[in-house]
Amino acid sequence: MRIVIAGSSGLIGTALRRSWAADGHTVIRLVRRNAAAPDERFWDPTGSPDPGLLSGADVVVNLAGAGLGARRWTRAYREVLRHSRIGPARALAEMTARADPPPRIMLAASGMRYYGVDRGDRELTESDDPGRSGFLPAITREWEAATDPAAIPVCHLRMGLVLAQDGGVLTQLLPLFRRGLGARLGTGREFWSYTGLTDAVRAIRHLAELPSAQGPYNITTPDPVRSAEFTRTLAEVLGRRALLRVPTWALRLSLGDVAPEVLGSLRVLPTRLTEAGFGFTQPHLHQVLRHELRPG
Ligand SMILES: NC(=O)c1ccc[n+]([C@@H]2O[C@H](COP(=O)([O-])OP(=O)(O)OC[C@H]3O[C@@H](n4cnc5c(N)ncnc54)[C@H](OP(=O)(O)O)[C@@H]3O)[C@@H](O)[C@H]2O)c1
């Protein structure tokens, strides 16, 4: 297959393109700086990109978006978070409508915050309603709607926390846990939904090859856990103890209004992925952490 990827330099993009390339597929990276390698093409998602960039592609993947944990969410950074998601999604969707011939399918990053900030213990599948309030739920709805101009089937990849050694949510947690300073976050009762990077890549590849793939897919294991169990398991896998607890008010003090948006309870199930014949190689948290984390 020939695959075009935007946002290819990030955590998921790097693992995904390496996985495809290792199996002999051709991957073209859309880059926002001057192209510096034969597999790179310059694109400016804020302009009107050339639909010829998708020429000959079977699959187009959008993984672009400024980092949620990278900076404090000032008003200006919220605009960056929003535009860096909606702009590339819309630009790629419009390109598929003008490409001749168009790719077969578009796989578009989204996130589980589509379902809201905090939905308690309710099990959430793809047929659940979107969240009604909160910044992330609002931009995630817009992010998905931005692909409406696409002329081809679009899969919305509603990803949970992607767990990996070198990026994502564990970047902040691992150094603390390795020093035995890991803490329980929030009340401990919030559900966290997650997947290992390896299974996230496998799931995206599964959808890319599934002829009937279209619409939303939750990319989370079938075993979401409460945050107390999450931190306990992480400490255990690292051979440390989680001694402290960071209460919700302290998180709010240090993270501002980001804390509930990022840590609120979402118990998300991969219903449509499972129906589509996908099996997780690491469905449970301790398996994910043992598989993804290097000792040390
Ligand atoms: N990792 C997770 O736990 C998780 C969970 C839910 C959803 N997601 C979403 O899935 C996508 C991929 O996740 P990831 O973890 O691989 O993200 P990542 O490591 O932060 O990479 C995202 C990529 O987006 C591009 N980008 C960064 N800032 C941008 C900007 N201002 N404008 C346009 N593009 C920008 C960059 O690629 P280039 O420099 O190559 O353009 C960057 O490598 C993101 O949209 C993320 O929000 C991730």
Residue 216 CA, chain-centre distance (Å), reads 13
Indicate if ligand 1 lies below 6 Å from the C-beta of 109.
yes
Number of domains in the chain: 1
Q: What is the pTM of this model?
A: 0.95
Of ligand 1's listed atoms, the one at least distance from the Cα of 112 is: 6
pLDDT tens digits for 18-36? Answer: 999 999 999 999 999 999 9
Residue 169: inside a domain, yes or no? no
At 167, give phi and psi (nearest 5°).
165, 180
Q: How far apart are CA 214 and CA 148, in angstroms?
A: 13
Residue 147: inside a domain, yes or no? yes
Handedness of CA 193, 189, 260, 167 (dihedral sign): negative
pLDDT at 40 exceeding the cut of 60: yes
Q: 153: closest CA among 84, 91, 219, 60?
A: 60
Which of 159, 197, 198, 261 has most ligand 1 atoms within 8 Å of CB, for mutation?
159
pLDDT tens digits for 168-195? Answer: 888 877 777 777 666 667 788 999 999 9
Mind spelling out the 3-state secondary structure of 274-290?
Answer: HHCCCCCCCCCHHHHHH
Give the confidence band of 231 by pLDDT, cuts at 50, 70, 90: confident
Residue 262: inside a domain, yes or no? no
Indicate if ligand 1 lies below 6 Å from the C-beta of 111.
yes
Give the confidence band of 255 by pLDDT, cuts at 50, 70, 90: low
CATH code of 52's domain: 3.40.50.720
Q: How far apart are CA 12 and CA 32, in angstroms?
A: 17
Indicate if ligand 1 lies below 6 Å from the C-beta of 8.
yes
Residue 149: inside a domain, yes or no? yes
Residue 33: inside a domain, yes or no? yes
Indicate if ligand 1 lies below 6 Å from the C-beta of 64.
yes
Residue 14's domain comprises 2-163+195-224+267-281
Residue 254: inside a domain, yes or no? no
Residue 246: inside a domain, yes or no? no
Indicate if ligand 1 lies below 6 Å from the C-beta of 88.
yes
Residue 127: inside a domain, yes or no? yes
Residue nearest to atom 19 of ligand 1 (CA): 10
66-80, 146-160, 188-202: least confidently modelled range: 66-80
* Ligand 1 center from residue 239 Cα (angstroms): 31
Strands 225-226 and 191-192 turn out to be antiparallel
Indicate if ligand 1 lies below 6 Å from the C-beta of 162.
yes
Q: How far apart are CA 28 and CA 237, in angstroms?
A: 37
